[in-house]
Structure 1
Amino acid sequence: MPGEFEQLVAEFERFQAGVRNADDRFTGLGAMQQQLTELRASAASPDGGVTVVTGPGGAVLDVKFTEAALAKGPHALSAALLATLREAVGEAARRQAVIVEEAMGDDLGLVDQVLETQAVAFGTTVEELRSKLPDGTPQAEDFSEQRVLRPADPPTAPPAPGPSAGDRFLRTLFDEED
């Protein structure tokens, strides 16, 4: 009987840990949403003549040209604008992926997926794009599989057919009172 009670307590603790994990993730959603709303990324052309600022989802928020960029003519200006737009939108996507991964965990490898896709699309390497991620970007640690108070319980054998451990415990408890 003591073994059954300990098993019930362990099951209850695992259930509570799952609830705490879900609560922690939902708590982080509000902060994640705020960070995504405030997201800004900017890029400038190599000569500094074109600057583009983007927001969430790569939305273009601002475009600035210098007099020197305007003087280069429409074809050069167009090429500089498109290249700078790609860079700014790509930066916004990378930052969004980092924010989401920090809040939700890296189970999906979201940042890696974005980097791999952009490397192919932009004709560069994942390492080059990774170097453009914000310095000091904290990586979320996943503590969901770690025990806090004691080491993990050894694996339990599947329950035998018949009444559950909880049913047997309650029957034994009431039988002892008679």
Structure 2
Amino acid sequence: MSAEFDQLVAQFEQFQAKLRHVDEQMSGIGQMQAEIAGLEATAMSPDRSVTVVAGPGGSIKDIRFTDAALKQSPQALSSALLATLRQAVAEAARAQAGIVEEHAGGDLHVLDQVLETQAQLFGTTPEELRASMAQSPRPAAEPEDYSQQDVLRREEPQPRPTPPSGGNDPSGDRFLSLYNEEDR
């Protein structure tokens, strides 16, 4: 009976070790979520006329055009914008996969899977994409002018007009009243 007991104790200890390992992995989830929430990837068109900032999950946070972009034909601008959007979203996906892999452990190979998929889509190699991650150049600050205004700018909410106060004025009450005088 002691051999069976020793075997059960060993299995229980293995189970506890696995639970500790899971607890260690899960302890960093809050930090991982914060890093993903703050994620931004910036891409610029080759002529630097279009800039796109992408966030987690492929969200687009900002799009900026220079005067040179606005002088392009609609087809050329559309093409530059789409290519830059794809680049920014792909960079954000690689960065997000890197964060997940860093916190969840390399056992999942999330980054490798993303790099392999993107390499197939973009006609390149995972190694080239990995190298571009290491470089990840930040765009140089450009002079501020009207052409740098955000396309996706957040408009400040307009204050709602305050309704006229009914106060003790019966005519004001009648104007806003849903009932006839007889209903009162």
Aligned to 1:38: 38
Q: CA deviation at 1:8?
A: 5.5
Does 1:83 pair with 2:83? yes
Q: CA deviation at 1:12?
A: 4.1
2:108 aligned counterpart, secondary structure: coil
Aligned to 1:47: 47
In the alignment, the residues of structure 2 paired with residue 103 and residue 94 of structure 1 have an alpha-carbon distance, to the nearest angstrom, of: 14
In the alignment, the residues of structure 2 paired with residue 133 and residue 6 of structure 1 have an alpha-carbon distance, to the nearest angstrom, of: 50
Q: Which amino acid aligns with 2:52?
A: V
In the alignment, the residues of structure 2 paired with residue 3 and residue 123 of structure 1 have an alpha-carbon distance, to the nearest angstrom, of: 59
1:42 aligned counterpart, secondary structure: strand
Q: 1:134 to 1:30 in 2, by over 3 A?
A: farther
Q: Which amino acid aligns with 1:120?
A: Q
Q: Which amino acid aligns with 2:87?
A: E
Q: Which amino acid aligns with 1:54?
A: A
Aligned to 1:105: 105
1:133 aligned counterpart, secondary structure: helix
Q: Which amino acid aligns with 2:88?
A: A
Aligned to 1:156: none
Aligned to 1:116: 116
1:89 aligned counterpart, secondary structure: helix
Aligned to 2:164: none
Identity of aligned residues (%): 59
Aligned to 1:26: 26
Q: Which runs of 5+ in 1 are unaligned?
A: 136-178
Q: Which amino acid aligns with 2:109?
A: G
TM-score, normalised relative to structure 2: 0.66
Aligned to 2:133: 133
Q: Deviations over 1:108-157 (max 9, x none)?
A: 3211111111111112221111112246xxxxxxxxxxxxxxxxxxxxxx
Aligned to 1:153: none
2:132 aligned counterpart, secondary structure: coil
Give the CA RMSD over aligned residues: 1.9
In the alignment, the residues of structure 1 paired with residue 37 and residue 2 of structure 2 have an alpha-carbon distance, to the nearest angstrom, of: 53
TM-score, normalised relative to structure 1: 0.68
In the alignment, the residues of structure 2 paired with residue 28 and residue 38 of structure 1 have an alpha-carbon distance, to the nearest angstrom, of: 16
Aligned to 1:74: 74
Q: Deviations over 1:87-127 (max 9, x none)?
A: 00000010111111111122232111111111111122211
In the alignment, the residues of structure 1 paired with residue 134 and residue 48 of structure 2 have an alpha-carbon distance, to the nearest angstrom, of: 21
Alignment coverage as a number of residue pairs: 135
